[in-house]
């Protein structure tokens, strides 16, 4: 699958995550940014075979992780973003 298709899968999963109500999604030239309160997560391609998830706090990168660009990575990406946006409360 290509990056835009994977990004759509990730977005759909995040939109259907009930405890993320109130989160906002924006798009920029590189990918998507999900925010909730002062936490954020930026999802961008990493080369041709990866997806980078940069976890943000007040617009500053606090951690960055690269996942395989595969449908099998979607659940791990969604969990990583959800935990960060929720303040690791889950």
Q: In the chain, which stretches have pLDDT less than 70?
A: 88-90
What distance, in Å, lies between the first and last C-alpha atoms of the chain? 30
What is the reported pLDDT for 53? 98
Beta bridge partners of 8: none
Q: Residue 77's CB: how many other CB atoms inside 10 A?
A: 22
Which residues does 77 contact at the CB level (< 8 Å), separation at least 6? Answer: 10, 43, 51, 53, 67
**Cα 85 to Cα 81: distance, rounded to the nearest angstrom:** 6
- The predicted structure's pLDDT at residue 19: 85
43-63 pLDDT tens trace: 999 988 999 999 999 889 999
């Amino acid at each position: 699958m290509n990056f835009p298709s994977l990004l759509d899968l990730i977005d759909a999963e995040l939109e259907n995550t009930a405890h993320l109500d109130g989160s906002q999604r924006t798009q920029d030239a590189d990918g998507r940014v999900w925010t909730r309160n002062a936490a954020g997560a930026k999802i961008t391609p990493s080369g041709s075979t990866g997806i980078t998830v940069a976890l943000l706090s007040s617009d500053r990168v606090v951690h960055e992780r690269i996942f395989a660009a595969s449908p099998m990575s979607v659940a791990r990406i969604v969990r990583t973003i959800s935990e960060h946006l929720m303040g690791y409360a889950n």
